[in-house]
Structure 1
Amino acid sequence: MPKYIWLLVIATAINVTGASFLWPLNTIYMHNELGKSLAFAGFILMFNQGASIAGNLIGGLLFDKFSAYKTILGGTGIAVVSAVMLAFTHDSIVSYSIFLVLIGFGSGITWPVMFAMAGSIWPEGGRRAFNAIYVAQNFGVALGATLGGYIASISFDFIFLSNATVFLLYFIIVLLTFRNLDKEKDRQMHTSILQQRAKIQSRTAFTALFILCGGFLIAWIAYSQWQSTIASYTQDIGIPLAQYSSLWAINGFLIVLGQPLIKWVAERITSQKVHIYMGTVIFIVSYLIAMVSETFTMFAAAMVILTVGEMLVWPAVPTLANELAPKGREGFYQGIVNSVGAAGRMIGPVFGGFIVDLYNIELLFIILLGLLIIPFVTTRLYDRKIKVEHNQNMEV
């Protein structure tokens, strides 16, 4: 890989490690330490994800129009200042909420630039460039969640200090080593979703994308419960904080180490539709196990199963979106997929929090199992009209 790809990989791993000290524990801290309801915690996480979406759109626009280096530096600067302020003011729910949202916004600005630069610097690398960033992200999740759980079991204060320290390290790396990124940038390769205001070129394909993304939204609403309601539930039944965090370490390391298995499956089962079907079935099995789990071992088993499903579903939807996209609209379609995933992460904690606050987590699991039928339907139906139009064109 080129030198600057390695630089992006290292920076990504450090950035996500810092973020992963905190994000698995947000709901636990707000609910168990600050005494707020799960629904309230879900609202704050919703605003955090909303700010991240806004940051993504602005970051993509700034990358296209101005400087990759200054965009990453600006986004990282916002995240660093917010993390430092959070480290000293996290006892107040008001300041906690404000700075958590600002961290989401600042971090959101950097991500489209990181991915865009990976493709721009190494276009001949194809998927390998993006896969390198993806693996670095999951390594950071595993490392940060592992360390974060043990640090939080000593004191939550140390978590916020560690989060700020690692963000500061990331900022210094960006400041000192990313200055020449603009020289490597190919401005013609990328467009932001904000620039895609032209008339939709293929309404059939666009409708198909939205049907497909309906199931993707449901999958993310279900998945986000592991970071919110399920996280709080593990504390209610006495599972140590360090063990809960290690669930995300299992998730991250399994994604990194499981790439050969997924490659083997992908070579033998080439249909992305089948990948979604398989992954959704695996999701359902995971939630069935989680629903009856009372020990760390059972939750760990559920997480392993969930991760296998994730590795099948998450890459399949962007791949199908790319196949649907008319020429020159690939970035726009991928932007929609990313926004739908973020919307699921916004809605999920609020939705789950209300159900658990008003009723119980058992009902939430039953509802999630019912909702997970929807991805089967959307995946089955999304391209039906496209096939009909294709057959009509062939007859003509």
Structure 2
Amino acid sequence: MPRYIWLLVIATTISVTGGSFLWPLNTIYMHNELGKSLAFAGFILMFNQGANIVGNLVGGILFDKFSAYKTILLGTFLSTGSSILLTFNHESIFAYSICLLLIGLGSGITWPVMFAMAGSVWPEGGRRAFNAIYVAQNLGVALGATIGGFVASISFDYIFMANAALFFVFTLMVVFAFKGMDEERNRQMHTSVIEQSGKIKDKSKFTALIILSIGFFVAWFAYSQWQSTIASYTQDIGVPLEQYSSLWAINGFLIVLGQPVLKLFTDRITSPRTHIYVGSVIFLGSYLIAMFAEQFTMFAVGMVILTIAEMLIWPAIPTLANALAPQGRAGFYQGFVNSIAAAGRMLGPFIGGLVVDFFNIQVLFFGLIVLLFIPFFTTKLYDRGIVDSEQVMEKEA
């Protein structure tokens, strides 16, 4: 892999490790420590992800039109400053909410640049470039979740301190290691968004991106329940906090250690479309198991199945988005799909919390299983309106 891919991988691991001390425990902290309802906790997380959506769109546009380095620097400073502030102001729900909002905005600005840079500096890498960032994210999830549960069982105060410390390390790396980012990027991708926006082909491809993203939204909506309503449910039925956090350690380490096996599959079946089909079938299985789970072991089995599914689906979407993107719009397209993921994470905890508060967790599971058939249709139909779809499919493979 190129040098800048390795830098992106290392930076991603550090950043996500820091964030993973906190995000799996947000709902639990607000519900159990601050005494708020699940719906209220979901409402706060909705604002966090709403800010993330805004950040994703802003970050993608700034990448396309201005500077990759200055854009990622802006997002990093916002996230780190807010994390430090949260360390000293997490006992007030108002301060907690404001800090989460700013962290969401900063992270949102950062991630489109990370993904767009991966596609820019290693265009011949195809899926491998985006998979490298994805694996780094999940290594960070594994490390953060493994340590985070045990730290939280001692004191939540240490969780906020660890989160801020690693964000600070990430900031230092961005400041000193990413200075040459603008010179390394593919200059052909740095054309004006305005110049591209009037092209009919671009509009048809953007329509395809929207259709594809509907299925992506549904998948993230369902996935976010493991971080919110299912998290709280495990506590209600007596699963210890350390064991719940270890579910995310299983998730992260399986993604990292399972790459050789995954490569055997993706080398033989190269179409990202097929990866989404197969992953969606497996995805459904994880919720069927979680629906009947009453002990940690069954939740662990459900998490393993969920992880196999996301290993196929999550890198496939930015790969298809990169294939669809005209010159000069790679950052915007990556920002768009990242914002769709954030929208799923935004509405998932809130709506899921409402369903559980007014009905029960089983009603939520039934609803999720029905919704998870939607990605099959959106993946099948997304590129029907593209005149040169054969060329796109050749590029995505």
Check whether the contact 1:355–1:363 (CA below 8 A) recurs between aligned residues.
yes
- Contact persistence 1:277–1:376 (CA under 8 A): yes
Q: Which of the two has higher C-alpha Rg?
A: 1
> Following the alignment from structure 1 to structure 2, what is the Cα–Cα distance between the partners of residues 164 and 228?
22
State the shift of 1:302 in Å.
Answer: 0.1
Structure 1 match to 2:68: 68
Q: Which amino acid aligns with 1:245?
A: S
Measure, in 2, the Cα distance between the counterparts of 1:30 and 1:195.
46
In structure 2, the partner of 1:213 is: 213
Asked whether the equivalents of residues 218 and 371 of structure 1 are also in contact (C-alpha less than 8 Å), the reply is yes
Contact kept, 8 Å, 2:196 with 2:202, in 1: the verdict is: no
AA aligned to 2:250 is I
* TM-score normalised by length of structure 2: 0.89
Kindly state the Cα deviation for residue 367 of structure 1 after the two structures are TM-superposed. Answer: 0.9
Identify which range, 271-280 or 46-55, moves more after superposition. 271-280
- In structure 2, relative to structure 1, the CA distance for the partners of 1:370 and 1:193 (3 Å cut) is farther
Question: Which residue of structure 1 lines up, in the alignment, with residue 393 of structure 2?
Answer: none
Preserved contact between residue 216 and residue 340 of structure 2 (Cα < 8 Å): yes
For 2:385 and 2:184, locate their aligned partners in 1 and report how far apart those are by CA, in whole Å.
42
Q: Counterparts of 1:1-396 in structure 2 under 5 Å?
A: 1-123=1-123, 125-190=125-190, 197-201=197-201, 205-324=205-324, 332-383=332-383
CA 1:36–1:374: 2 relative to 1, 3 Å: same
Q: TM-score, normalised by structure 1?
A: 0.89
Q: Is the 8 A contact 1:60 1:192 kept in 2?
A: no
Q: Distance in 1 between matches of 2:204 and 2:172?
A: 47
Q: Please give the alpha-carbon distance, in whole angstroms, between the structure 1 residues aligned to 2:64 and 2:128.
A: 22
Give, as a single letter, the amino acid of the residue that structure 2 aligns with 1:17. T
Q: What residue identity is the alignment partner of 1:157? A: D
Secondary structure class of the residue paired with 2:246:
helix
Amino acid in structure 2 at the alignment position of 1:241:
L
Stretch deviating more after TM superposition (153-162 or 167-176): 167-176
Question: Does the 8 A contact of 1:219 with 1:375 survive in 2?
Answer: yes
Q: 1:367-390 CA deviation, whole Å, 9 max, x = no partner?
A: 11111122233334444566x998
Structure 1 residue runs without a partner (length 5+) = 392-396
Residues 196 and 332 in structure 1, CA contact (< 8 A), matched pair in contact too? no
Deviation at 1:144, TM superposition (A): 0.7
Query: Contact 2:79 / 2:104 at 8 angstroms: preserved in 1?
Result: yes
In 2: Cα distance, 1:177 partner to 1:202 partner: 34
Distance across 2 between alignment mates of 1:191 and 1:256: 35
- Secondary structure in 1 matching 2:91: coil
How far apart, CA to CA, are the structure 1 residues paired with 2:269 and 2:309? 15
Q: 1:142: how far off? A: 0.7
Q: Contact conserved, 1:51 with 1:105, CA < 8 A, in 2?
A: yes
Q: Distance in 2 between matches of 1:195 and 1:301?
A: 50
Aligned residue for 1:355, secondary structure, equals helix
Structure 1 CA distance, aligned partners of 2:133 and 2:159?
25
Distance in 2, matches of 1:185 and 1:381, equals 32
CA RMSD of aligned residues (A): 2.7
Tell me, what secondary structure is at the counterpart of 2:302?
helix
Aligned partners of 1:327, 1:183: CA distance in 2, in Å?
Answer: 17
* Partners of 1:83 and 1:160 within 8 A in 2: yes
Most deviating of 13-22 and 272-281: 272-281
Comparing 187-196 with 10-19, which one deviates more in the overlay? 187-196
Change (3 A) 1:322 1:27: same
Distance 1:174 1:128 in 2: 22
Q: More displaced, 270-279 or 135-144?
A: 270-279
Deviation at 1:3, TM superposition (A): 3.6
Is the Cα contact below 8 Å between 1:146 and 1:246 reproduced in 2? Answer: yes
Query: Structure 1's 82 and 337: CA in aligned 2 closer, same or farther, altered over 3 A?
Result: closer
**Whole-angstrom CA distance in 1 between matches of 2:220 and 2:192:** 23
CA contact (8 A) 1:192 1:332 kept: no
Please state how far the C-alpha of 1:243 moved relative to its aligned partner. 1.1
Alpha-carbon contact 1:193-1:335 (below 8 Å) kept:
no
Residues 15 and 358 of structure 1: CA distance in aligned 2, closer, same or farther (over 3 Å)? same
Paired with 2:316 and 2:127, the residues of 1 have a C-alpha distance of: 13
CA distance in structure 2 between the partners assigned to 1:7 and 1:323 by the alignment? 23
* CA distance in 2 between partners of 1:23 and 1:193 (Å): 34
Helix, strand or coil for the counterpart of 2:179?
Answer: coil
Residues 200 and 206, structure 1, Cα contact 8 Å, conserved in 2: no
> Counterparts of 2:124 and 2:272 in 1: how far apart (Å)?
24
Which residue type is aligned with residue 166 of structure 1?
A: L
SS at match of 2:201: coil
Partners of 1:103 and 1:8 lie apart in 2 by 20
Deviation for aligned residue 1:280: 1.6
The answer as to whether partners of 2:126 and 2:319 remain within 8 angstroms in 1 is no
Question: Which residue of structure 2 lines up, in the alignment, with residue 394 of structure 1?
Answer: none
**Does structure 2 retain, via aligned residues, the 8 Å contact 1:229–1:356?**
yes
CA apart distance, 1:54:
1.7
Higher mean C-alpha displacement, 111-120 vs 347-356: 111-120
Q: Tell me how far apart the structure 2 counterparts of residues 358 and 139 of structure 1 sit (CA, whole Å).
A: 36
Partners of 1:318 and 1:163 in 2: CA distance? 27
1:219 corresponds to which letter in structure 2?
A: A
SS at match of 1:201: helix
